[in-house]
Amino acid sequence: MFDSARGALRTLTNKLGNKPVHDQMQTDIVQSLANIGENVKFLDVAIRRSRNQVPREYLESLSLDAELLKRLAKRDYNSESERTRLYDGLKEVESDLELKVTGPGRQGGAEVVRLVEILVHARKGDQDVGAYEVWYVPKGLLREPSRFKRFDRLTDPSAPTSMKVAPGNYFIWLSKGSSLTDRKPVDIGVQGEARREIDVVVP
């Protein structure tokens, strides 16, 4: 997965990163490519040195970032709208990886590779309500319903439903029958936390 990400970065750098910088967007794209490269390198070393088995959820999350980079690398960027799309895609990957390298492990003394437990409350007014399915997807894959994942349990007023995910950027929402809540953007792992409680408002 890291080789795949590095290959995509090389392709993108050859397409865009080595061109003369003419505007702020080009500058930002070049900087994003550099930042992503540094984070990929850091995580590659961290995983190789990890004393614990790397969780499947973490590896899957990294693979999705590599996949997004490969998709970006296949496109041509000859127009302003295409460059804007590239910029947005790179920023999404950069932000997701930044959350993975942020936390206690970056300063030493703890594992960088970790999962965060998300606890979700379905809230109606000032009350918790039950029987809602909880869904989530990485932000970069919002347009791909096949990548949506569901929590193992329905919401329950007596105890929040929970899942463990890799640090990163997600959308979370609830469903019950044909009723859907708004998709709530959530950045997981910003403070290096091990748990994060989230309220999702239902109609």
- For 103-154, write each residue's pLDDT tens digit: 655 554 457 888 999 999 999 999 999 999 999 999 989 989 999 999 999 9
Q: For position 109, what pLDDT does the model report? A: 44
Q: For position 175, what pLDDT does the model report? A: 97
Q: How far apart are CA 184 and CA 174, in angstroms?
A: 10
| CA nearest neighbour of 93 among 137, 54, 138, 30 | 138
Is residue 44 within 8 A of residue 2, CB to CB? The reply is yes
- What phi-psi label fits residue 169: left (phi over 0), alpha (psi between -120 and 50 degrees) or beta? beta
Q: For position 107, what pLDDT does the model report? A: 54
The residues that bridge with 179 in the sheet, in sequence order, are 176
- Lookup result for tokens 């540094």: 38
- Are 52 and 102 in the same domain? yes
Please identify, among 87, 107, 127, the residue that sits at the C-terminal boundary of a domain.
107
| CA nearest neighbour of 64 among 106, 29, 96, 34 | 96
**Number of domains composing the chain:** 2
Q: 24-49 and 2-12 helices cross at what angle (nearest 10)?
A: 160
- Are 78 and 44 in the same domain? yes
Residues in the chain with pLDDT values less than 50: 108-109
- Are 102 and 6 in the same domain? yes
pTM above 0.85, yes or no: yes
Q: Assign 54 to helix, strand or coil.
A: coil
Q: For position 17, what pLDDT does the model report? A: 56
